[in-house]
Structure 1
């Protein structure tokens, strides 16, 4: 069973970065999800991929846990965030591409 070790990205719904500093060990699904004939919800017989999600403080802790328990894992390092430096004065700059209007 293969697991992924990664740092989750921030949600699109909020501007904060809560829950993005911990490392997560999550199992890959071993079987495809299929719709339930009665309700139409998706279901799977694999509980490890849908219900098990372990969090760790550091990447080394997550790797150490996976190696100690014999779990094959894929390590996904996060991409560095782009910093967009803006100043309020840029709204009124002479060389602005789109002219400022009311």
Structure 2
């Protein structure tokens, strides 16, 4: 089993950062999605793709992966850059 461990980025449409401090373990897809012949929706028989586990720390997520024999890849969180500007800069 392969999985990735990452931090959820901040939603671009909102100013708050709720839920961005948690680390998420998400399984890699085991088989590709294929269209359903009747409805045309994309689906697969891989049920692990529906599972997302949340952890308080990166170390807790790694410990869970090691304990359960999951090959995990840690994706570092992108660095936050602040664009500081004054309201008057909009009219220059």
TM (norm. structure 1) is: 0.81
**Structure 2 partner of 1:100:** none
CA deviation string 1:27-75 (max 9, x = no partner): 00010000111111111111002x1110001101100110111110100
**Structure 2 partner of 1:2:** 2
Dislocated runs of 4+, deviation >6 Å = none
**Structure 2 partner of 1:59:** 58
**Structure 2 partner of 1:86:** 85
Q: Relative to structure 1, is the Cα distance of residues 86 and 47 closer, same or farther in structure 2, using a 3 angstrom cutoff?
A: same
* Structure 1: gaps of 5 or more residues: 97-102
Q: Tell me the CA shift for residue 78 of structure 1.
A: 0.5
Secondary structure (helix, strand or coil) at the match of 1:21 reads coil
Partner Cα distance (1:41, 1:80) in 2 = 36
- Structure number with larger C-alpha Rg: 1
Secondary structure (helix, strand or coil) at the match of 2:73 reads strand
* Structure 2: gaps of 5 or more residues: none
RMSD, aligned α-carbons: 1.5
- Length, aligned pairs only: 92
